[in-house]
Amino acid sequence: MPKPRSEPFIFGGKVRVDFFLSPTGQCPAKKFLNGKELSKIHQARVLKIIQYFANHGKTFNTDLLAKLKGKQASGFYEFRDVHISKTRFFFFYINSFHIVITHGCLKKRDDTDQAEIDRMIEIKKIYQNKLLYED
Protein backbone atom coordinates (compact mmCIF):
# COMPACT_ATOMS: atom_id res chain seq x y z
CA MET A 1 0.00 0.00 0.00
CA PRO A 2 1.46 3.43 -0.90
CA LYS A 3 2.38 5.94 1.76
CA PRO A 4 0.31 9.15 1.96
CA ARG A 5 1.70 12.13 0.03
CA SER A 6 -0.15 14.69 2.11
CA GLU A 7 -1.72 15.09 5.52
CA PRO A 8 -5.22 16.54 5.79
CA PHE A 9 -5.08 19.89 7.56
CA ILE A 10 -8.40 21.70 7.09
CA PHE A 11 -11.57 20.55 5.38
CA GLY A 12 -13.36 23.81 4.70
CA GLY A 13 -16.69 24.41 3.07
CA LYS A 14 -15.03 25.08 -0.31
CA VAL A 15 -11.44 23.83 -0.29
CA ARG A 16 -9.54 20.94 1.24
CA VAL A 17 -6.15 22.07 2.56
CA ASP A 18 -3.40 19.48 3.04
CA PHE A 19 0.21 19.61 4.20
CA PHE A 20 2.82 17.95 1.98
CA LEU A 21 4.38 14.81 3.47
CA SER A 22 7.77 13.65 2.22
CA PRO A 23 8.30 9.96 1.45
CA THR A 24 10.05 9.74 4.84
CA GLY A 25 7.03 11.23 6.61
CA GLN A 26 8.41 14.71 7.23
CA CYS A 27 6.07 17.69 7.00
CA PRO A 28 7.95 20.97 6.35
CA ALA A 29 4.87 23.21 6.67
CA LYS A 30 3.82 21.76 10.01
CA LYS A 31 7.40 21.92 11.28
CA PHE A 32 7.55 25.63 10.45
CA LEU A 33 4.06 26.34 11.80
CA ASN A 34 4.87 24.71 15.15
CA GLY A 35 8.49 25.89 15.27
CA LYS A 36 10.17 28.55 17.34
CA GLU A 37 10.28 31.11 14.51
CA LEU A 38 6.54 31.86 14.80
CA SER A 39 4.94 33.34 17.88
CA LYS A 40 1.54 32.06 19.02
CA ILE A 41 -0.01 35.27 17.63
CA HIS A 42 1.51 34.67 14.19
CA GLN A 43 0.47 31.02 14.26
CA ALA A 44 -3.11 31.97 15.08
CA ARG A 45 -3.20 34.65 12.39
CA VAL A 46 -1.92 32.31 9.67
CA LEU A 47 -4.36 29.58 10.72
CA LYS A 48 -7.20 32.10 10.52
CA ILE A 49 -6.18 33.10 6.97
CA ILE A 50 -5.96 29.47 5.82
CA GLN A 51 -9.29 28.61 7.49
CA TYR A 52 -10.97 31.57 5.78
CA PHE A 53 -9.64 30.39 2.41
CA ALA A 54 -10.78 26.81 3.06
CA ASN A 55 -14.29 28.00 3.92
CA HIS A 56 -14.69 30.55 1.13
CA GLY A 57 -12.47 29.18 -1.66
CA LYS A 58 -10.92 32.51 -2.51
CA THR A 59 -10.03 35.93 -1.27
CA PHE A 60 -9.42 39.06 -3.25
CA ASN A 61 -7.31 40.55 -0.47
CA THR A 62 -3.75 40.34 -1.79
CA ASP A 63 -2.44 41.01 1.70
CA LEU A 64 -3.63 37.49 2.59
CA LEU A 65 -3.14 35.45 -0.58
CA ALA A 66 -1.21 36.03 -3.77
CA LYS A 67 -0.18 34.18 -6.89
CA LEU A 68 3.58 34.13 -7.15
CA LYS A 69 5.05 35.99 -10.11
CA GLY A 70 7.69 34.78 -12.49
CA LYS A 71 8.06 31.94 -14.92
CA GLN A 72 9.59 29.51 -12.41
CA ALA A 73 6.95 30.20 -9.76
CA SER A 74 4.07 29.63 -12.16
CA GLY A 75 1.30 27.65 -10.50
CA PHE A 76 2.37 28.51 -6.96
CA TYR A 77 0.62 30.75 -4.45
CA GLU A 78 1.29 32.02 -0.97
CA PHE A 79 -0.74 32.63 2.13
CA ARG A 80 0.71 35.68 3.75
CA ASP A 81 0.21 38.16 6.51
CA VAL A 82 1.91 41.36 5.46
CA HIS A 83 0.57 43.49 8.32
CA ILE A 84 1.83 41.52 11.29
CA SER A 85 4.81 39.58 9.95
CA LYS A 86 6.58 38.40 6.86
CA THR A 87 5.17 34.89 7.35
CA ARG A 88 4.55 32.95 4.14
CA PHE A 89 3.09 29.52 3.44
CA PHE A 90 3.45 28.33 -0.15
CA PHE A 91 1.00 26.05 -1.92
CA PHE A 92 -0.19 24.64 -5.23
CA TYR A 93 -3.55 23.42 -6.45
CA ILE A 94 -4.35 19.75 -7.06
CA ASN A 95 -7.72 20.87 -8.43
CA SER A 96 -10.04 23.80 -7.73
CA PHE A 97 -11.17 22.22 -4.43
CA HIS A 98 -7.89 20.86 -3.10
CA ILE A 99 -4.52 22.49 -2.32
CA VAL A 100 -1.26 21.26 -0.84
CA ILE A 101 0.85 23.54 1.34
CA THR A 102 4.51 22.82 0.60
CA HIS A 103 6.30 24.73 3.36
CA GLY A 104 6.53 28.03 5.18
CA CYS A 105 9.16 30.67 5.80
CA LEU A 106 9.76 34.16 7.08
CA LYS A 107 10.28 36.34 4.05
CA LYS A 108 13.30 38.62 4.26
CA ARG A 109 12.48 40.93 1.35
CA ASP A 110 9.65 41.77 -1.02
CA ASP A 111 10.61 39.28 -3.74
CA THR A 112 10.42 35.57 -3.02
CA ASP A 113 13.93 34.16 -2.55
CA GLN A 114 15.06 31.85 -5.34
CA ALA A 115 15.87 29.19 -2.72
CA GLU A 116 12.19 29.16 -1.65
CA ILE A 117 11.02 28.88 -5.27
CA ASP A 118 13.46 26.01 -5.84
CA ARG A 119 12.17 24.31 -2.68
CA MET A 120 8.53 24.64 -3.84
CA ILE A 121 9.37 23.16 -7.24
CA GLU A 122 11.29 20.28 -5.69
CA ILE A 123 8.49 19.50 -3.22
CA LYS A 124 5.90 19.50 -6.00
CA LYS A 125 8.06 17.14 -8.09
CA ILE A 126 8.39 14.80 -5.12
CA TYR A 127 4.65 14.98 -4.46
CA GLN A 128 3.85 14.13 -8.08
CA ASN A 129 6.30 11.20 -8.22
CA LYS A 130 4.08 8.37 -6.96
CA LEU A 131 6.93 5.89 -7.18
CA LEU A 132 8.68 7.53 -4.23
CA TYR A 133 5.70 6.72 -2.02
CA GLU A 134 5.45 3.01 -2.76
CA ASP A 135 6.60 0.52 -0.16
Q: What is the pLDDT of residue 57?
A: 87
Domain membership of residue 124 (yes or no) is yes
Domain membership of residue 79 (yes or no) is yes
pLDDT-based confidence at residue 133 (cuts at 50, 70, 90)? confident
Separation of alpha carbons 125 and 129, rounded Å = 6
Domain membership of residue 1 (yes or no) is no
Separation of alpha carbons 54 and 71, rounded Å = 27
Q: How far is CA 7 from CA 16, 19, 56, 129, 130, in A?
A: 11, 5, 21, 16, 15
pLDDT-based confidence at residue 53 (cuts at 50, 70, 90)? very high
Domain membership of residue 47 (yes or no) is yes
Domain membership of residue 135 (yes or no) is no
Domain membership of residue 64 (yes or no) is yes
In the chain, % of residues over pLDDT 90? 52
Separation of alpha carbons 112 and 78, rounded Å = 10
Q: What is the pLDDT of residue 98?
A: 94
Q: Which helix (H) or strand (E) holds 126?
A: helix 114-128
What are phi and psi for residue 65, nearest 5 degrees? Answer: -150, 135
pLDDT-based confidence at residue 90 (cuts at 50, 70, 90)? very high
Q: At 28, is the secondary structure helix, strand, or coil? A: helix
Count of the separate structural domains present in the chain: 1
Average pLDDT over residues 34-54: 90
Domain membership of residue 16 (yes or no) is yes
The pTM of the whole model exceeds 0.75: yes
Q: What CATH number is attached to the domain comprising 102?
A: 3.30.2310.20
Separation of alpha carbons 31 and 24, rounded Å = 14
pLDDT-based confidence at residue 1 (cuts at 50, 70, 90)? low
**Domain that includes residue 80, residue range:** 6-129
CB 81, CB 42: distance < 8 Å: yes
Higher pLDDT, 37 or 82: 37
What are phi and psi for residue 103, nearest 5 degrees? Answer: -170, 175
